[in-house]
Amino acid sequence: MSECGELSEKLMGEQGAAGLGVGPLAAVVERSRDGIVVVTADRRYVYANPAACRIMGYSLEELRALPDFLANFPEREHQAMLEHFAEQLSGETGLWTSTLLRPDGTEREITWSNMSFEIHGRLHGAAIFRDATEARQAGRNAAALGQAAAQLAGRAAVADILGDLARHAIAGTRAVACAIGLSGATDELRTGAAVGVPQAFRDISLSNGLRVVDLPDGDVVMSNRVAVVPDARTRWLNGPRPDIGATLQYLDWQAGVHVPVSWGDEVLGALAVFLPSTVSGPTEAELAFYTALGDQAAVAVINDRLLTETGQASALQERARLARELHDSVSQALFSMTLHARTAQLAMEKQDLPQDGPLGRSVAQLRELSQGALAEMRALIFELRPDALAEEGLMAALRKQAAALSSRTDLRVTVDGPEERLDLTPETEEHLYRIALEALNNTVKHADARTATITLTVAGERLELAVNDDGVGFATSGEHPGHLGLRTMQERASAVGGTLEVESQPGTGTTVRLVIP
């Protein structure tokens, strides 16, 4: 029989005399999974069963050597323990929660009840307790997940949600740090959140081409499985991205857990947990919690994506609706006005009324204004309709914009190009259209030109788009107005495999020329 057992038998002897039987009762106490301790009125241990010894982290001898049971509790608990103990000795009982302090400095949360009794006429206190650390942590973790879900419902920003998830990983487990990275349009991690990691890690990991597959066992994560990496710290240094691994050397850690942030088969990113060097790996509960956090991150990302798409779809629908309304109402009315104005002119001709008289000039002006308003309205409707360019084609789009610009400004814009629809991809048409509009926009803003011409020529595989004006021109070698728009045009030119050049000199007008290929 163990030391604890001998003592329990000694203690149980009093009750054994009451007919309960020494052997069986001692066995119950000794085998109980709940901790049972007995202390004297001056707070010294006289007995602890094996479960109590295990939970408290002491042997019975060590417990009995302690001068005061308060040594088993963090200082913040002392006052409450003294009050409970005083009540206990006065005959009261209760059910409590407290925190134990183990000899290695770690803490365990317990739920316990107490009572008092006399042994050989001396007052003693007894407590029965159980370790509630995991259960309470699980409860807190569940609450954390619930909080994350509430954030989702509240449409918090993804970055904020990810930050909170990373904080939960540290607060709810033994992790010293946690980082969540999300892949951008390429496989490279572009956005995310990190808690507990060095600033250098944050700076490099999201801006220097790190991919999920570059993580230790990243291929496992990419196959949508959780990777527990006991030697993650070392493998970072010896892996494809030692530069990032080097930033983690100042952190006291060794094992890592890499959880895919995924939706269906799509791996959106990864959640990386860094465990302290004293820990060989995560517990089952921790692993489950990390996985749940990864799932929450995925939900946050997908939720945000759907909200964005929904918002965009709503905006597109609203634009299309507005375009239809404008077409059916204002545009038709303006078209009718142009017809009426021309009808009036024809009627005046028949009646030999002078076109240059007051009435003739007014009708001509009315016709010009209505024709200009119609052109502007058609251009506006065209811009509002999301599918207008794809539906009507590049040349029609350019002609609409040219007509609108001509009616709105003093610039006369002509379009010269094929009548038939060009065989271009929608993306190429979009880029060419935007390049031409940007060039025209620069002409209007900066060139002080009277005329501009958009010329589009196609010869075999070669396509050339030129926007020419007769404005003041500029020195292309220096800083000039519209240079930011020029950069955008050049990016668009690159996107369609073409080159864009600007030909201009002060006083000679400007030509923006795109050539594909």
Partner 1 sequence: MLIVEDDPRVRSALSGLLASEGLSVVGIAATARDALEVGDWLDVALVDVRLPDLEDGLLVIRTLAAEGHPVVALSASAGARAASLAAGARAFFEKDSYPDALLAALHRATS
Instruction: With CB under 8 A as the rule, give the number of residues binding partner 1.
Output: 31
Distance in Å, CB of 394 to partner 1, minimum = 11
Distance in Å, CB of 420 to partner 1, minimum = 8
Tell me whether residue 275 or residue 398 sits nearer to partner 1 (CB atom): 398
Residues 288-347 binding partner 1 (CB under 8 A) are: 327-328, 331-333, 335-340, 342-343, 346-347
Question: DSSP secondary-structure letter at 214?
Answer: G
Tell me whether residue 163 or residue 393 sits nearer to partner 1 (CB atom): 393
Distance CA 149, CA 322 (A): 37
Give the x-and-dash track for 193-222 against partner 1 (CB under 8 A).
------------------------------
- List the Cα angle 160/164/168 in 5-degree steps: 170
CA count, 13 A, side-chain hemisphere, 259: 26
Residues 395-454 binding partner 1 (CB under 8 A) are: 395-396, 399-400, 403, 420-421
Q: Count the Cβ atoms, other than its own, within 10 Å of residue 209.
A: 15
CA 32, chain centre distance (Å): 48
Tell me whether residue 339 or residue 359 sits nearer to partner 1 (CB atom): 339
Q: Count the Cβ atoms, other than its own, within 10 Å of residue 157.
A: 11
Give the DSSP H/E element, type plus range, for residue 27: helix 22-31
Tell me whether residue 343 or residue 508 sits nearer to partner 1 (CB atom): 343
Residues 346-365 binding partner 1 (CB under 8 A) are: 346-347, 350
Distance in Å, CB of 455 to partner 1, minimum = 19
Give bridge partners of residue 267 from the DSSP assignment. 262
Give bridge partners of residue 462 from the DSSP assignment. 459
Phi, psi (deg, nearest 5) at residue 434: -70, -35
Q: What is the DSSP string of 41-63?
A: TTS-EEEE-HHHHHHHT--HHHH
Residues 367-386 binding partner 1 (CB under 8 A) are: 371, 374-375, 378, 381
Distance in Å, CB of 335 to partner 1, minimum = 5
Residues 129-188 binding partner 1 (CB under 8 A) are: none
Tell me whether residue 251 or residue 396 sits nearer to partner 1 (CB atom): 396
Binder among 318, 391, 427, 491 for partner 1 (CB under 8 A) = 391
Distance CA 504, CA 471 (A): 10
- List the Cα angle 250/253/256 in 5-degree steps: 125
Tokens of 129: 């307790």
**Residues near partner 1, by CB under 8 A:** 327-328, 331-333, 335-340, 342-343, 346-347, 350, 371, 374-375, 378, 381, 391-393, 395-396, 399-400, 403, 420-421
